Amino acid sequence: MGYRILWPAMRWPEGRHIEEQSIAGHQAEFCERFTEVTEDQWANRDAVVSVNDIPEEYRQQMAKCRIFLTPKVGFDNIDGAAWGERGVPLCNVLDYGTQEVADHAIALMLSLMKGITFHTRELKQDPRGRWRPALNPFGKRLSTCTFGVVGLGRIGTAAALRAKAFGMDVVMFDPHRESGAELSIGIRRVDALGELFAQSDVVSLHAPLSKSTEKMINLEILAQSKAGLILINTARGPIIDLDALHHAMKEEMIQACGVDVLPEEPANPNHPLIRAWADGDEWIDHRLLITPHSAFFTPESVYDMRFKGGKTILNYLDKGILDNCVNQHWLT
């Protein structure tokens, strides 16, 4: 019968064939919600796959589980320590959506710098009277601009190379990357986050969420921004202090911002920044773009996310190869 792998809260209602293909020859079991899982399933499955963490009351029943996989990059909503104490590795899926997220970061930058959404909205209001190309408030020649990258991992590197292809001067900040990583792709490096903000016309965030990066983009950092800075975030929402961003935009410390992620998702309509954006307040009009955590999405990236998760599980169960383990230091 092979291994028995459980999806206790299946995310994709349109079909399960990708998951079944990824573990061909083994048994896949699916439930729509945790409360539908039987005691036998919790107790006797070799692996469990879930976007969200498993509540402790169910985790305690999982006597046979050898690996827990969350089929996405982010794992900040999973208690890696609790899994590690049970001797269960927590793994994520890294290698999907790299191109898509990097493309999205550049798209947000271009939409703001080239006035795409600005002109669209203006022309909808008055197609003849506002047919004026010089209206764009953010227009800059890309080859005269500096593109700052925070976090030179897979996606940060892909975004840096895209910006470089536009002729932009690219500079990076990443205290965790080895010396010389920047030289391998022909960009510059700075040693302080504030220095990056002071030099850059565009800053694109590509850091993971951790205790050290939560609210890393705060008022102190934003106050050091170069005049006219455009901030892009396709990484994790809580990396930006949203209160600080509201203040910085209102006081024109930065010119504009494009985000695909927020500290609260869906967006909190009561937060002052979101409320001003939704109401179309004049001071923020055209200066803030928000997309609904959609940067990663293409049919190809979704397939990779779903398929590669199953392969990660089988690599461990079959061969003892542990890919993308994020709680190694907690394993007992």
Q: 14-20, long-range: CB within 8 Å, 24+ apart, which pairs?
A: 18/303, 18/306, 18/307, 19/49, 19/306, 19/307, 19/309, 19/310
Return d(Cα 70, Cα 273) in angstroms, integer.
31
- Active-site residue 85, yes or no? no
- 265 in catalytic set: yes
Determine whether 293 is an active site residue: yes
Candidates 183, 109, 181; CA nearest to 152 is: 181
Quick one: DSSP state of residue 240?
B
Residue 124 tokens, joined: 């909808």
Choose the catalytic residue: 66, 247, 275, 293: 293
SS3 287: coil
Three-class DSSP category at 208: coil
Selecting among 206, 236, 246, 286, the annotated active-site residue is: 236
Distance CA 113, CA 228 (A): 11
* Selected catalytic residue, list 32, 251, 264, 265: 265
Closest to 88 (Cα-Cα) out of 61, 58, 62: 62
Report, in this order, helix, strand and coil percent for the chain, each rounded to 5.
Answer: 40, 15, 45
Active-site amino acid positions: 236, 265, 293
